[in-house]
Amino acid sequence: MIRFDNVSKSYPGGHEALRRVSFELPRGEMTFLTGHSGAGKSTLLKLIMAMERSSRGQIFYDGKNLDRLGRRGIPYHRRRIGVVFQNHSLLFDRSVFENVALPLNIAGAAPRETARRVRAALDKVGLLDKETLNPVVLSGGEQQRVGIARAVVHKPDLLLADEPTGNLDPELSAEIMNLFREFNSVGVSIMVATHDISLVRDFGLRQIVLNQGRITQGAFPNESLR
């Protein structure tokens, strides 16, 4: 699904966020991306989203080189990916339903299909009864679940999450992670970036560990099982 080939990313000013990073994420796998803050987790996710370009090396998504993706191709690339942010990036000028419907509206889905899929996604995250509310009145955990519903509503091949449990207490965090497991069990590839190692340990899934821009563990499948 995703393959990084000796990817480096340095920012103007000389800061090197990623150094010769290589790893592979097979289709349908769920992986954790761990490391201290500043280790390069967010940069790695941004590269997959084509929000940033690599300075060196190549990134393949579904066998296609992301460097060859033109400016016009980027939006269509992003439509195949769902993203969950730490700050959930919800829009407070519209209802929960409209927030979740956003990716479908952008893709121009039929209204009836949109309503059906939005309700299915909200049902999945247990917020079907809140669809008419403004997300501002929801709790932090509920807001994050709305964010997750928005990330999966268009049935992406890949779900990326950047510190999705950053602001939540352990119980809610576990709940969110279990939600990801459920999506993974129906075939969605998932990569969750988190610095909360205690949360990750219990799942027994592959971990890619980043340290100062380098991968120190889990670059390829099965490696962490060795």
Binding site for another protein (CB under 8 A): 49, 51, 72, 75-81, 83, 89, 91, 93, 102-103, 105-111, 150
Residue whose C-alpha is closest to residue 16's, from 56, 62, 50, 49: 56
Nearer to another protein by Cβ, of 111 and 126: the residue is 111
The three-state secondary structure class of 219 is coil
Furthest C-alpha separation in the chain: 50
Q: Quote the least distance from Cβ 152 to another protein, whole Å.
A: 11
Q: Quote the least distance from Cβ 123 to another protein, whole Å.
A: 20
Nearer to another protein by Cβ, of 121 and 209: the residue is 121
Rg for the chain, CA atoms, rounded:
17
Nearer to another protein by Cβ, of 49 and 219: the residue is 49
User: Which residues 6+ apart lie within 8 Å of 144 measured at CB?
Assistant: 84, 88, 164, 165, 167, 168, 172, 176
Q: Quote the least distance from Cβ 196 to another protein, whole Å.
A: 23
Q: Quote the least distance from Cβ 34 to another protein, whole Å.
A: 23
Nearer to another protein by Cβ, of 84 and 200: the residue is 84
- Structural contact between residues 143 and 135, judged by C-beta atoms closer than 8 angstroms: yes
